[in-house]
């Protein structure tokens, strides 16, 4: 995130995660529980039970970044789901989540898939 690397995917870990885990523990969750490659160009986002802390695991070309955010007076609008599963979202939805919004914004502008030239 600091270097604005190209990100292919963002995966949210559904259900609470024990954030006492560091890089190795979170990478193990990614590979064993989600059956995904922690060395891919993806962000893996984890949230604690109280939904006031998140960790983001990111592989850089020679090591892992571990980003951490703790909210002082609020909670993240974390989606519900079965623990041990992940949800793929876009960078736009991740920005909403980090800003305290739901990843499902009904009033957001929809992506235009095809442009019509007039």
For residue 114, being part of any structural domain is answered with no
The gap from C-alpha 5 to its chain's centroid, in whole angstroms, comes to 15
For residue 109, being part of any structural domain is answered with no
What does the alpha-carbon distance between residue 2 and residue 104 come to, in Å, rounded to a whole number? 26
For residue 25, being part of any structural domain is answered with yes
For residue 55, being part of any structural domain is answered with yes
Q: Quick one: pLDDT at residue 3?
A: 56
Q: For residues 13-38, give the mean pLDDT.
A: 95
For residue 17, being part of any structural domain is answered with yes
Please determine, for residue 1, whether its predicted confidence score (pLDDT) is greater than 70.
Answer: no
DSSP letter string, 51-100:
SSEEEEEEEETTEEEEEEEE-SS----PPP--TT-EEEE-HHHHHHHHTT
Q: Quick one: pLDDT at residue 32?
A: 94
Domain that holds residue 26: 9-98
- Asked whether the beta carbons of 57 and 46 are under 8 A apart, the reply is yes
Looking at the structure of the chain, the number of domains it has is 1
Residue with tokens 């609470």: 16
Q: Which two tokens stand for residue 78?
A: 């974390």
Task: Report the share of the chain in percent with pLDDT over 70.
Answer: 92
Per-residue pLDDT tens digits for 66-107 = 999 999 999 998 888 777 789 999 888 899 899 888 777 776
């Amino acid at each position: 995130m600091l270097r604005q690397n190209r990100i292919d995917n963002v995966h949210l870990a559904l259900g609470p995660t024990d954030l006492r885990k560091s890089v190795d523990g979170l990478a193990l969750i990614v590979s064993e529980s989600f059956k995904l490659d922690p060395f891919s160009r993806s962000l893996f986002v984890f949230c604690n039970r109280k939904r006031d802390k998140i960790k983001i695991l990111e592989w850089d070309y020679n090591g892992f970044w571990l980003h951490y955010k703790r909210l002082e007076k609020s909670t993240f609008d974390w989606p519900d789901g079965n623990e041990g599963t992940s949800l793929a979202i876009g960078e736009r939805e991740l920005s909403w989540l980090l800003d305290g919004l739901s990843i499902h914004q009904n009033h957001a502008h929809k992506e235009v898939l095809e442009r019509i030239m007039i």
